[in-house]
Structure 1
Amino acid sequence: MWAGVERGRSLAAAVAVAPVLAAAAHVVPAGTWLSGPRQLWLPTLAGVGTTDHVALTFDDGPDPRSTPAFLAALDELAVRATFFVVGEQVLLHRRLVQDIVRRGHELAVHGWTHNRPWRPAPSREARHLAAVAQVVADVSGVFPTWYRPPYGILTGDRLLAARRTGLRPVLWTAWGRDWTPHATAESVAATILADLRGGGTVLLHDTDRHAAPDCWRAALGALPGLVGACRAAGLRVGTLGEHGVARPTHAAGGRTR
């Protein structure tokens, strides 16, 4: 009798603890959003590469209102960058995505939509991430390597989805706060350069779709000064693929064409 009671109590305790454990598995990995601990303990996730190189990355596009201006500026500066694109935008603007690739830039995955992961949804995250990776591969001819979740929130289910899809999560070491309404070219460049070192990964945005209206102009205006400062310090500026961050083995999808 008493054994049965104890088993019942143990089962009840397990049932009570299970939601807590599930929530922890979902939320705890998102702590990597904190830049200081990430760079100290998880340099690969932070995007730390070879010390003579800086990776230039853009999130949230493509956007026909603003992305072409970034492509023109990068051409003028003779710089190639990595664009973390949103799947639903890729479907809407396939020619623009193809132009990004044609100009020598690298495509990476930023999610199917630009959503916040309020609740665990492992099957949905896996399905959406696989879909956007395949769309990028279909449009560009190359299966993507990198994944940066919207808002940099890498939850447990997003981390698992990335592994299943064969994508490498990577965040950043320096950002320009270019999404804010009062950002200027000068403030964006100064904010980045205050944190930037050789081997760093820079986060900017080539659109204002999820930020203050027209704030992309501040990021665009910051590019010449940012690239010039890096070159003056003897640093090359380019894509994550040139950055020396370890690449994953593609578990699903592989490379196309």
Structure 2
Amino acid sequence: MRAGLLLGAAAGVELLHLAPAAVRLPPVKRHAARRTAGYGDPHHIALTFDDGPDPRGTPPILDALDTLGVRATFFLLGAMLERSPDLGRDLVARGHEVAVHGWHHRRQYYPAPARDLRELRRATEAVTTLTGARPLWYRPPYGVLAAGPALAAHRLGLRTVLWTAWGRDWEPGATGHSVHATARPHLTGGATLLLHDSDCTSTPDSWHATLTALPLIAAHCHAHNLTLGPLRDHGVPRDRRRPG
């Protein structure tokens, strides 16, 4: 009986840990957690990239964004940034916004609050130090928002933002047209679009599809009189709490 009670208590703790992940569910995103989902200015679409910086994917995507005259928010992995700090500085020099995606790209299914705070602080400090810009936003890997990382982000002064549209650019067989077609129905005013400038956690060379999709996405926004840009221009409230 005691073993059963312990198992039940452990299950309850894990359930509480994962409860914030419900924000990924479409009805919750649309109605109960619009800010965390990434809904913002109805005349704007936030363009965001995850998993970089990557010495193969990030430079051509930056060049494409320069050609389009578009700026974006890049959610950086601390481990990737540590390997390519010059790319982090280049992002900022070109006018893009840097944000935090964690240190490693892994799911955080089990409660480990001390580890969560330690790793997220390490990633935040790396982004600040190596790029010269203090991040404002946090996005958990895989979009799984658990209680530990959510509380750590709040303590570090980061606002958690997920997404409302994606192009599934990480999948085998993705093309620029498939990425655009997948994202297009959700590219309405106030949306936050998730793309990737790195294939470190997805199909090799998948960033080519992202690169090809960018002009199509920019053209869609132009045709619908929507501005495409970073989260800092999206009207999502920031957590102004300073790190503790």
State the TM-score, normalizing by the size of structure 2. Answer: 0.95
CA deviation profile, 1:183-219 (whole Å, cap 9, x unmatched): 1100100111111210110000001110011111111
Alignment of 1:210-249 (within 5 A): 210-249=201-240
- Partners of 2:123 and 2:72 in 1: how far apart? 19
Q: What's 2:171 paired with?
A: 180
Match of 1:5 in 2: none
**Equivalences for residues 1-257 of structure 1 within 5 A:** 17-252=8-243
Q: What's the % identity of the aligned pairs? A: 48
Shifted more, 202-211 versus 29-38: the winner is 29-38
Shift of 1:17: 4.6
Return closer, same or farther for 1:219/1:12 CA change in 2, 3 Å cut-off: closer
1:183 alignment partner, SS class: coil
The 3-state SS of whatever aligns with 1:119 is coil
Structure-2 change in CA distance of 1:12 and 1:113 (3 Å): closer
CA distance in 2, matches of 1:113, 1:16: 29
> Are residues 112 and 225 of structure 1, via their aligned partners in 2, closer, same or farther at CA, if it must alter by over 3 Å?
same
Aligned pair count reads 244
Q: Deviations over 1:118-167 (max 9, x none)?
A: 32111101001011111111122222100000000001111111111111
Does the 8 A contact of 2:77 with 2:101 survive in 1?
Answer: yes
Contact 2:61 2:211 in 1 (8 A): yes
Shift of 1:96: 0.8
TM-score, length of structure 1 as denominator length: 0.91
Letter in 2 for 1:24: L
* CA deviation profile, 1:210-246 (whole Å, cap 9, x unmatched): 0011111111100001011101110001000010000
Partner Cα distance (2:58, 2:227) in 1: 22
Quote the offset at 1:31 in angstroms.
1.8
Q: Give the SS at the match of 2:52.
A: coil
Aligned equivalents of 2:8 and 2:106: distance in 1? 28
Aligned-pair Cα RMSD in Å:
1.7
2:236 maps to amino acid: V
Question: Distance between the aligned counterparts of 1:15 and 1:214, measured in 2?
Answer: 46
* CA distance in 1 between partners of 2:45 and 2:15 (Å): 34
How far, CA to CA, are the matches of 2:67 and 2:50 in structure 1?
A: 20
Secondary structure at the counterpart of residue 193 of structure 2: strand
**Structure 1 residues 85-132: Cα deviation after superposition (integer angstroms, max 9, x where no partner):** 000111111111100100000000000000111321111010010111
